[in-house]
Amino acid sequence: MNIKTIKKSIFFVFSIGVSILLIWLGFSTLKENYSRDLKSIHQQKGTIEHTKVVLKRTKATGKYSIYFNLKILKIKLNTTNEVFYSYNNNQNYAELTRKLKKGIKVLVYYKKLNQDDVANNVLKLISEDEVLLTHESYKAKEYFAGIVMMLLGFLLLLLSVFLLKN
């Protein structure tokens, strides 16, 4: 075998592995999203201590590092040390922060990110008189992410097979 064939084979195996990983992650996201029942997930009742929009800096690495500044809504309740986060695609939290004043009683349905982590994803948020964040909007974001991951996985798989043949 020559060097070119070895490089091509290594690239093919690596890209197949990444493709399978993306497809599996996408499928897992869709499955978890479809089977989630709000009755069986974490809930926390409490009074709002404070809410604020925080800037989270994330990094996408590759040949060059790219940084993204994301606005995320942070909610702290008086009944727990845990902090709850909600992400909105359009980065606009004005109406939500206006409704979430200090002292308002809320019920938070959330997904624990890690056992050790004190940050949690808000799935649904209910105040005394209205639903402020719906579970359906969270499911739509997760569903979209799962579909994108699966499509990228299949696209990479097709590209890998195409490049192997040429």
Domain boundaries, the chain: 46-121
Between these two residues, 126 and 45, which has the higher pLDDT value? 45
Q: What single letter denotes the amino acid at residue 86?
A: S
Q: Which residue has the tokens 């020559």?
A: 2
Question: What is the average pLDDT across 29-48?
Answer: 80
**Local confidence band at 84 (pLDDT 50, 70, 90 cut-offs):** confident
Distance CA 110, CA 158 (A): 37
Between these two residues, 133 and 61, which has the higher pLDDT value? 133
| pLDDT in the model for residue 148 | 92
Q: What is the pTM of this model?
A: 0.66
Cβ count within 10 A of residue 5: 9
DSSP state of 148: H
**Residue 39 pLDDT greater than 60, yes or no:** yes
**Residue 50 pLDDT greater than 80, yes or no:** yes
Contact at 8 Å (CB) between 87 and 16? no
